[in-house]
Amino acid sequence: MKKLNTGLSGCKLEFVDNNLIRKYSSSSDYNNRLSKQIDKQVLFSNFILKNIDTPKIHNVCKDKIYSFDMEYISGLSFNDYFSTSNISDIDFVIQTLFSYFDFLISSSKTYKINNQVLEKLSFLERDTRYKKYVLHLKEHLSNKTIFAPKSFCHGDLTFTNILFHKNRLFFIDFLDSYVDSFICDLVKLKQDLYYFWSLNIQKIDSLRIKQIYRFIWNSLYHRYSSYIDSECFEVLDTLNSLRIEPYLTNQYQRGTLYKMIENSNLYEKFNCTDGGEIF
């Protein structure tokens, strides 16, 4: 079996044969999350979406360390795809993302997410360099009602978790989310397309790809500005950055994340008011 690269979760990937890839849980503690990922990937495979698919799951093993086999897809990484893409290729990605979000929006319903947000902040408070900031967020959010559109969400929709084909995008590495909303997917795309997270972490210094990313993000923003400019998005964007912190493994990654957190609107408001009102 041939090992493949893994992300921050530490899950191991191996080729089983020419048609299957096996994914292992990083530890017994991660089994529950991997099980939820399997369920989400199976659910997504039942959706009928224009130009979007996911590898089919074939075998699930729930031993001490969970694993599952899935279809091998011979797609391009974001780096390979956007290094050679033309205008038509870029428009294809944009229109396909539009179809995904339009589908989710069409069946979404509004619900309160205060409990989920406050619970997540309490968890993040234990292991962060931004304790004062997190405490301040908790204090102010406890007196507000935050609404989100409830829908399916991928959970980790960065471009590292998409396999790019000329006429199809394959979503991979689904994650459970503390809030079920397409807003979380828009937040993750902002992480990549606006903050250049994956490019920075992989030390890919490509002006061409950065320009393409900004173009894609501006297209998404123009279409979904009412959601991206919402208080819900602002809160979930902040929590998304704070959630990454415990998974980082080196100082370069931490420096990249700290810039992302400290350039966010909420953090800038927090600094400007010296810990005062930020909403």
In this predicted structure, the answer to whether residue 203 has a pLDDT above a threshold of 60 is yes
CA angle 261, 266, 268 (to 5 degrees): 75
The yes-or-no verdict on residue 7 having pLDDT over 70 is: no
Please state, for a pLDDT cut of 70, what percent of the chain lies above it: 94
**Which residue type does 34 have?**
L
pLDDT more than 90, % of the chain? 73
Segment 106-133, tens digit of pLDDT: 999 999 999 999 999 999 998 899 999 9
Residue 248 DSSP SS3: coil
Q: Are 216 and 193 in contact (CB under 8 A)?
A: yes
The answer to whether domain 78-272 has CATH 3.90.1200.10 is: yes
Whole-angstrom CA distances from 72 to 17, 55, 101, 191 are 9, 7, 26, 27
Q: Is the pLDDT of residue 63 over 60?
A: yes
Mean pLDDT of the chain, nearest integer? 91
Q: What is the largest CA-CA distance in the chain?
A: 58
Render pLDDT for 245-264 as a digit per residue (tens, 0 to 9).
Answer: 988 888 888 988 999 899 88
- Rounded Cα–Cα distance for residues 179 and 84 (Å): 36
**Range of lowest pLDDT (1-5, 167-171, 215-219):** 1-5
Token pair listed for 28: 């017994």
3-state secondary structure of 9: coil
Decide: helix, strand or coil at residue 225.
helix
The DSSP call for residue 244 is H
* Superfamily in which the 3-71 domain is placed by CATH: Phosphorylase Kinase; domain 1 (3.30.200.20)
The strand order across the sheet containing 52-53 reads 52-53, 169-171, 162-164
The residue extents of the domains of the chain are: 3-71, 78-272
Q: How far is it, in rounded angstroms, from Cα 198 to Cα 221?
A: 20
pTM confidence score: 0.92
**Residue 168 structure tokens:** 């199809």
**Of 102-106, 212-216, 225-229, 267-271, minimum mean pLDDT range:** 267-271
User: Does the pLDDT at position 5 exceed 60?
Assistant: no
